[in-house]
Amino acid sequence: MKKVTKWIGLLILSIGLFFSFGVSSFAEEPDVDFIDVSHHNRELGLPLAFFQTIKASGVKGVVVKVSEDRYFVDPAASVNIANARQAGLIVSAYHYARFTSNTSAKAEAQWFDKKLKLVGFNKEKDGYVVVDVEADNLSNSSSNLTHYTNTFISEMKKLGYTRVDLYSGSYFYNHHLKPGTLIIDKPWIASYPKYPQRGNPTAQFSNGKGAWQWAEDYQFIGMSSYGYFDVSEDYAGKYSTKTKSTQKVIHHVGTIKPISIVDYLKSKKMDSSFKARQKLASKYGIADYNGTAAQNLALLAKLKAGAKPAKINLQNSKLTTKPSTALTTTYKVKKGDTLSGIAQKFHTTVSKLKSLNKIKNVNFIRVRQTIKIQAKGQKTTIAAKYHKVVKGDTLWEIAKKNKTTVKKLKSLNKLKSDIIYPGQKIIVK
């Protein structure tokens, strides 16, 4: 009896293992050919080490958010572009569209062009520039919106960008646009199935199969501290292969040489003080410089490559054209998000989010739910209050003076210790 029982148990276990291995072999997860990033992933930009690690895991490209409408430049764009390029990834860039006419579409393209120059994107050596068309306050007329989108794309080509693409959600692309009359084929389309399978996109491509964004909550193994990422499979090769001989792609990723930005500046007989570095970073489009490793490595890469600063002022870049009415942006809820956390991230309140989104229970939001965030003028930028450290300052004293805590200051400034130095700027609010 015991032998029979044992044999039956082994048989059941074998069948279970067969089905578990069998199912996984026929339903492999899609490839992560490229990712897209913005300040939502890390407000001051992702470090070189992150990009080097995902490059080693097989990721080939990254699409960096650069701008939105005609008033915003992503504060992490310059750092993300420089560090991703240094890691050997093909770098592309995107603009979040808000256009409501042909005139505004053309103006947004011109704004995008200026911001691309500001953050160091190279139209000859880097990858695609992408218009992200998905905002819920765009034209309800598919014919009109398609016309505006084509105007934006045409203007980018007139400005010298030979590689231009379109991103949208699958439903939006097929119902709010007219794919057959778009001047872009093989677009990049998002669709998030419960069980995504490699090479089997659920996105509906009506104008040629380009790239499929199959998840927005992907975590890289061993790097959960970086949070969630949008990941895509690339079928047309726009974002993961060289499409022009002048595109710069580093095939062999080396180690970071033991030289700091301070040592480099000193070796060139340049002012290496925090104030001087902050001014220099601003010229290269690095926003809110406070000396993070990601910012320093990005600035160092730009200087060593001999890159010239764009003739555009960073502060003016945020609000060169002030929106006349209240604007809204959107945020998709990710695992672990709370309404209070989202409110804090976008410098607003739970009550405002509750009212704008008609939320009945502030303690209940769903993963992938779209949350509208209202912004007026400069409130859409990352507004922060700073304290410039002077000799004798301590984090405890700064926290007490600004009615906060040392823990919050360390979190805001990503400080690993209590050590601060004169000239350093500390975010206090």
Dihedral over Cα of 341, 346, 348, 351: its sign? negative
CATH of the domain at 127: 3.20.20.80
CATH of the domain at 397: 3.10.350.10
Identify whether the C-beta of residue 353 lies closer than 8 Å to the C-beta of residue 399: no
At 269, is the pLDDT very low, low, confident or very high (cuts 50, 70, 90)?
confident
Q: Structure pTM?
A: 0.67
pLDDT at 15 over 60: no
Residue 421 neighbours by CB distance under 10 Å:
10
**In a shared domain, residues 62 and 120:** yes
In a domain, 262, yes or no: no
What per-residue confidence (pLDDT) applies to 133?
96
At 291, is the pLDDT very low, low, confident or very high (cuts 50, 70, 90)?
confident
Mean pLDDT of all residues belonging to the chain: 81
**In a shared domain, residues 58 and 147:** yes
Q: Tens of pLDDT along 300-338? A: 888 877 777 776 655 545 433 334 344 566 788 888 888
At 172, is the pLDDT very low, low, confident or very high (cuts 50, 70, 90)?
very high
What per-residue confidence (pLDDT) applies to 262?
80
Q: Tens of pLDDT along 28-48? A: 899 999 999 998 888 889 999
In a domain, 269, yes or no: no
What per-residue confidence (pLDDT) applies to 259?
64
**In a shared domain, residues 409 and 328:** no
| Range among 116-125, 247-256, 290-299 with highest mean pLDDT value | 116-125
Stretch 114-140: mean pLDDT = 93
**In a shared domain, residues 356 and 227:** no
Residue 337 sits in which domain range?
322-380
Q: Which residue has the higher pLDDT, 367 or 172?
A: 172
**In a shared domain, residues 422 and 343:** no
What per-residue confidence (pLDDT) applies to 1?
44
In a domain, 155, yes or no: yes
Cross-strand partners of 35: 62, 231
In a domain, 310, yes or no: no
**In a shared domain, residues 40 and 188:** yes
**In a shared domain, residues 134 and 150:** yes
At 399, is the pLDDT very low, low, confident or very high (cuts 50, 70, 90)?
confident
Decide: residue 58, CB within 10 A, 0-12 exposed, 13-18 middle, 19+ buried.
exposed
**In a shared domain, residues 83 and 159:** yes
**In a shared domain, residues 411 and 343:** no
Q: Quote the CA–CA distance of 281 and 302 in Å, as a whole number.
A: 10
Cross-strand partners of 165: 130
